[in-house]
Structure 1
Amino acid sequence: MNIENADLNLLKALDVLLEERHVSRAAARFHLSQSAMSRTLSRLRETFGDELLVRTAQGYELTPRARAIQQELEFILPRLRALVRGGEFDPATSTDAIRVNCTDYAVTVIGTRLFPRLFEQAPHLSLTVEPLSPRTYEEIEHGRVRRV
């Protein structure tokens, strides 16, 4: 894929498609018709040279390439939003997604004080707390996760 020929507006649609794993639900969330989202999926498949979503008996499944893209989008999209917004961070209006990887002990000690204050200051923020895993360290090494 050549970045000069890529439609970066498709990244948000791709993010929703990969999260929902269902064309109709993704279309509803993205305020498109089901047929328009199907066409968007076709364009994304062509752009990335991958099926991305594969229909199975249990519904749609992500291809390995789609899973890798999804992890990258978790890192890229918030930065693109910040770039467009001018880099100004306003916690009161931020709809950013933050993922915290830590031990249960850290959640108990730090989280019980930090998280309520965080949501008081940034009520629209999306917070996910996940346990530390070998994948966490791989993501740090590859620059997909920042350490604080």
Structure 2
Amino acid sequence: EDWDAVWTEAMAVNVHAPARLLRHAVSGWLDADEPGAIIGIGSWATTRGTSNPGAIAYAASKAAIAAATKTVARNYADRGILAYIISPGVVRTQMSVDSAALTGGEAAVTATLPMGEWVPPSDIGELAAFLAEGRARHLTGATIDVNGAAYIR
């Protein structure tokens, strides 16, 4: 695998595109009567690192967008713009299934999880919807871990 190509793609997908969205959202909300909420999707790889050396670019890209989102929270909270990071653990996605296949299979991964199950994607979606409603304004800037106690800060 071409390391430079993997790095470039991870940065394009996980940093450059979301950063453009951040910039446009903030710009549009600065003068809005009802500013909105930015919800970034992070990864526990941003604080734990990753046990998969092939995922270095992924971990770095998720850390970059987390820092950008937290910077938006810090600088625009006084204008009503909220920003959060949801940091999932092992969510049942194709990427996680593919990764598990490289590290002993789904059963081996599941055995390492305190709840004995992968995070359902709906848990992430429901949390994002709750945050987007603005009902937890004082969580702005927070990273919210959703991993069934697999990683506790």
Task: Compare CA radii of gyration and give the structure with the larger one.
Answer: 1
Structure 1 length normalisation: TM-score?
A: 0.28
Structure 2 length normalisation: TM-score?
A: 0.27
